[in-house]
Structure 1
Amino acid sequence: MSIIEVKNLKKLFNGREVLQGISFSVEKGEVFGFLGPNGAGKTTTVRCVLGLLRPDAGSAQVLGGDLGADDPLRRRIGVLLENNGLSDRLTAQENLDYFARLYDLENPDERVAEMLGFVGLEERKDGLVGTFSTGMKRKLGIARAVLHDPEVLFLDEPSSGLDPEAQRMVRDLILDLSKKEGMTVFLNSHNLDEVQRVCTSVAILHQGRIRAFDTVQRLREGEEGTHIEVVLGDPDSVGRAAGVLRGMPGIKEVEEEGESVTAVLTGESAAAAVRALVMADCAVEEVRKEQQSLEEIYLAAVHQAEGSA
């Protein structure tokens, strides 16, 4: 069972179909990126998933239930929207103490200290949040959102307005939550570089429809397969290398160019291809794996949607 399951979700506002039957799923432990331009319907989707809006058709389930109808289920998720949900007049520790008691945690003092350490703010625990930088507030906001150890974390533009160093710190926190804590993260973001760095899968929403949905790796490899370029140190190896690659069943479109050979891998890994070349005594000097960037994929999906509208 998927942790988040959205099926044929539709939502109308003033007779206009903002969401046109979208579907996607998120598996346990994934960092899922939800992408789309302003007005695409991302916020509406997130509100439907969180149970803040009722869809006109379809369903949105988290952990097998409806967050809009199941109060106990809401305790199993964490949410950080654009507002960090913090009081500037309280210290970092007082802010987390307040939420720890709202969640009725068994050992609030221990958990607050643990989370301050996790986000690197233990030395600023007695500082007023109103004096904190935007990056520090965002880190404390993440600590607030995961204080009760949720199974799923929803983040809305967590790096918005942050400098590059603070963005990196937020990315590191997201990866730690996924890899070390096993948390499933739903990341709503415009930052394509951030999504490419931290997300395992993405969905691209445009004009109320999902235009692409897959793992980041498969999207970047493309439908044709993985493109590789093998640079050879010995020109006499080029023909032999091309012959080796053409003889492998999971490789197609082999071309020779200068001192390199390019190929499209559909059933073989780049490592297997290199092993075969080395065993054939080809002078492999460099292997370049050519993949589309997430930005290229995103722009292609959006432009294709606009062209077919």
Structure 2
Amino acid sequence: MSATTAMPAEKLDGSQIPWNKHKMQSKGVGDWIVDVIMWIIIALVVIAVIYPLWFIVIASFSNPQMVSSGEVTLLPKGITTAGYQRVFADDRIWQGYLNTIIYSVVGTAVNLIVTIPAAFALSRKDLWGRRVIMFLFTFTMYFAGGMIPNYLLFKDLGLLNSMWVFILPTAVSVWNLIIARSFFDTSIPEDLHDAAQIDGIGYFGYFMKIVLPLSSAIIAVLALYYFVGHWNDYFTGLIYVNKEEKYPLQNVLQSILLGAQTAATGSTGSGVSAVAQQQIADQIKYGVIIVSTLPLLILYPFLQKYFNKGVMIGAVKG
């Protein structure tokens, strides 16, 4: 008898398939009420997240007097670019942008070069002492030397006022290392390694030719995490750098904002009132926020599609 013999007629009856009956059932009133409540809650959460960002955008283009008086709510009023003109009039901002791009790109590359191979090695069950090594990595998440010992160490290593002070001390994030290791544990079948061994491929070839091409999702996620961390890093420049030409964008914007705030508080004897100066400072503040976050907002949509696959698979150990 052929394996494709048709099933008996009674088996094809829809009433004999349990899921078919439930599939055709319509939602009850209670289901619709729950759906409406959930949609309302989701809409409120979305508004609560998006509106502050939208307000910053419209406030940066609006007349500062209208913003301070509460006239600006949904759309910009008295459109002006004075805040952006003041921000970009400072030549330091272009040097800060260049520094931050260099620190972020080189730093992210170093992070991935260190994190991905380390995570793969620690995911191998035949690595001798991997539990001890992982414990030493995890230990650094909870215990550190502190700011002063770090400063003295970086000084002795010659890292102060250099690009490498932004890169080498944070070459690996233990949290990202754990995520990547879990990804390799759960998403790369051991059968692939067995097949590679049969073909005469060693660990290095297996990692480069098989593992890396299958790990684009987790690499993209970690790259975004690391890039955002480097882009938003201002504390390193604040503590370990005292040359303005080495400042990243965040420290340059901080200097511009502090200068505007200082001018607002010290404008008593000037021709501009303190209130007007404070309004100008607020508009500069909104412009600074947009200038610092816009590149990340542009980059994020291109990598967002990898998040579900990369983070969820790498974060949950099966």
User: TM-score under structure 1 normalisation?
Assistant: 0.24
Between Structure 1 and Structure 2, which shows a larger proportion of helix residues? Answer: 2
Between Structure 1 and Structure 2, which shows a larger proportion of strand residues? Answer: 1
